[in-house]
Amino acid sequence: MSFAPRGGLLLVVGLFALAAVLALFQVNALLAGSSWLSALLAPDRDDVRQVLVHESLLPRVAMALLCGAALGLAGTLVQQVLRNPLAEPMTLGIFPGAYLALAFYTLYVPRGLPGGRELVALGGGALAVLVVLTLAWPQKLSPMAVILSGMVVNLYCGAISLAMALIHYDLLLGLQIWGGGSLEQAGWQPSSHLAAGLAACMLTVWLVRRPLVLLDSGESTARSLGAKVERTRLIALLVAVVLTALVVAQVGVIGFLGLAAPALARLLGARTLYQRLVGSTCIGAAMLSATDQIVLVLSNTASLSAHLIPTGTVTSLLGVPLLILMLPRLRNGLATQWKPNWPNSTGFAPSRRWGLAALLLLGLFLSFMVSRSLDGWRIATAAQVSALLFWQLPHTVIAATAGGLLALAGTLLQRATANPMASPDLLGVSSGGALGIVVVVFAMSQPSPTVLFGACLAGSLAALGALLWLGRGAFNPQRLLLMGVAVSAWFQAMVSATLASGDPRAELMLQLVTGSIYYLPPALAWVSAAVMLLGLCLAPLFTRWLEAFSLGEGSAASVGVPVARARLLILLFAGVLTTMATLLVGPLSFVGLLAPHIARFAGARQPLQQLWVASAFGAVLMVVSEWLGRQWVFPEQMPAGLVATLIGGPYLVLLMLYRRKS
Q: 121 with 150, same domain?
A: yes
Q: Strand (E) positions, 348-423?
A: 370-373, 376-379
Is residue 117 assigned to a domain? yes
The rounded distance, in Å, linking the Cα atoms of 441 and 454 is 12
Burial of 359 (0-12, 13-18, 19+ CB in 10 A): middle
Q: Are residues 590 and 512 in the same domain?
A: yes
Q: Does 446 or 531 have the greater pLDDT score?
A: 531
Q: What is the DSSP string of 213-264?
A: HHGGG-HHHHHHTT--HHHHHHHHHHHHHHHHHHHHHHH---TTHHHHHHHH
Question: Are 263 and 409 within one domain?
Answer: no
Is 268 in a helix, a strand, or coil? coil
Note whether 278 and 417 are same-domain residues.
Answer: no
Residue 634 within a domain: yes
pLDDT at 203: 94
Question: Using one digit for the tens of pLDDT, what is the confidence trace for 480-509?
Answer: 666 676 676 676 667 666 666 666 676 667
Q: Is 333 exposed, middle or buried (0-12, 13-18, 19+ CB in 10 A)?
A: middle
Specify the range with the lowest mean pLDDT, choosing from 67-71, 183-187, 202-206. 183-187
> Does residue 307 sit in the same domain as residue 383?
no
pLDDT on residue 444 = 79
The answer, yes or no, to whether the previous bond of 521 is cis (omega within 30 of 0) is no
Residue 115's pLDDT band, with cuts at 50, 70 and 90, is low
DSSP H or E stretch at residue 630: helix 607-632
Are 401 and 304 contained in the same domain? no
What's 427's DSSP letter?
T
Q: How far apart are CA 648 and CA 590, in angstroms?
A: 6
Domain final position from 299, 329, 359? 329
Of residues 420 and 245, more confidence is placed in 245
Q: Which range has the worst mean pLDDT, 79-83, 549-553, 599-603?
A: 549-553
Query: pLDDT grade, residue 52 (50/70/90)?
Result: confident
**pLDDT at residue number 125:** 82
Q: Do 355 and 273 have their domain in common?
A: no
Q: Are residues 227 and 117 in the same domain?
A: yes
Q: How confident is the model at residue 73, as a pLDDT? A: 93
Q: What is the pLDDT at residue 70?
A: 94
Give the residue with greater pLDDT, 571 vs 35.
571
- Residue 122 near residue 249, CB atoms below 8 Å: yes
The tally of domains found in the chain comes to 2
Q: Report, as an integer, the average pLDDT of 564-570.
A: 80
Biggest alpha carbon–alpha carbon distance for the chain: 86
Of all residues in the chain, the percent with pLDDT exceeding 70 is 72
Residue pair 536/520 in contact (Cβ under 8 Å)? The answer is no
What average pLDDT does the segment 313-325 reach? 69
Range from 188-192, 474-478, 646-650 carrying the lowest mean pLDDT: 474-478
In this predicted structure, the answer to whether residue 515 has a pLDDT above a threshold of 70 is: no
Task: Evaluate whether residue 1 is within a structural domain.
Answer: no
322 and 383 in one domain? Answer: no
Residues 240 and 373 in one domain: no
- Let me know if residue 285 belongs to a domain: yes
Q: 514 near 639, Cβ under 8 Å?
A: yes
Closest CA to 158 of 419, 614, 500, 510: 510
The predicted model gives 596-624 an average pLDDT of 83
Output DSSP code: residue 34: G
Range 317-321 average pLDDT = 69
pTM: 0.73
Does residue 645 belong to any structural domain of this protein?
A: yes
Q: What is the DSSP letter of 660?
A: P
Distance from the Cα of residue 107 to its chain's centroid: 24
Report for 210-214, 372-376, 430-434, 503-507: range of highest mean pLDDT: 210-214
Q: Does residue 378 share a domain with residue 260?
A: no
pLDDT of residue 548: 79
Of the listed ranges 192-206, 290-304, 327-341, the least confidently predicted one is: 327-341
**How much is the pLDDT for 333?**
44
Q: Which residues pair with 371 in a beta bridge?
A: 378
Q: What's the pLDDT band for 281 if we cut at 50, 70, 90?
A: very high
For the segment 197-230, what is each residue's pLDDT rounded down to a tens digit? 899 999 999 988 888 888 777 777 777 777 777 7
**Of the residues 297, 329, 361, the one at which a domain ends:** 329
Q: What local confidence, expressed as pLDDT, does residue 1 receive?
A: 41
Mean pLDDT of 39-61: 77
- Rounded CA gap, 453 and 437, in Å? 8
At residue 413 the predicted structure's pLDDT band, cuts being 50, 70 and 90, is: confident
Contact of 133 with 141, CB cutoff 8 Å = yes
- 611 lies in a domain? yes
CATH number at residue 65: 1.10.3470.10
**Percentage of the chain modeled with pLDDT above 90:** 5
Q: 81 or 485: whose pLDDT is higher?
A: 81
pLDDT for residue 338: 45
The per-residue pLDDT for range 6-21, each reduced to its tens digit, is 666 777 888 888 888 8
Which position has the higher pLDDT, 96 or 332?
Answer: 96
Q: Identify the three-state secondary structure at position 371.
A: strand
**Is residue 19 a part of any domain in this protein?**
no
Residue span of the structural domain in which 107 resides: 56-329
Residue 34 lies in a domain: no
- Pick 653 or 568 by higher pLDDT: 568
Asked whether the predicted pLDDT for residue 616 surpasses 80, the reply is yes
Within 13 Å, how many C-alpha atoms sit on residue 418's CB side? 19
Query: CA-CA distance, 176 to 307, in Å (whole number)?
Result: 11
CA atoms within 13 A on the CB side of 118: 9
- Residue ranges of the alpha helices (H) in 83-227? 94-108, 116-136, 143-167, 173-179, 189-207, 209-214, 219-224
When the pLDDT of each residue in the chain is averaged and rounded to a whole number, the result is: 76
- Say if residues 409 and 134 touch (Cβ distance below 8 Å): no
291, 439: one domain: no
Instruction: Please report which confidence band the pLDDT of residue 171 belongs to, taking 50, 70 and 90 as the band edges.
Output: low
Higher pLDDT, 578 or 389: 578
Surface-to-core class of residue 92, CB atoms within 10 Å of its CB (0-12 exposed, 13-18 middle, 19+ buried): buried
Residues 503 and 176 sit within 8 Å (Cβ to Cβ):
no
Can you give the pLDDT at residue 594?
81
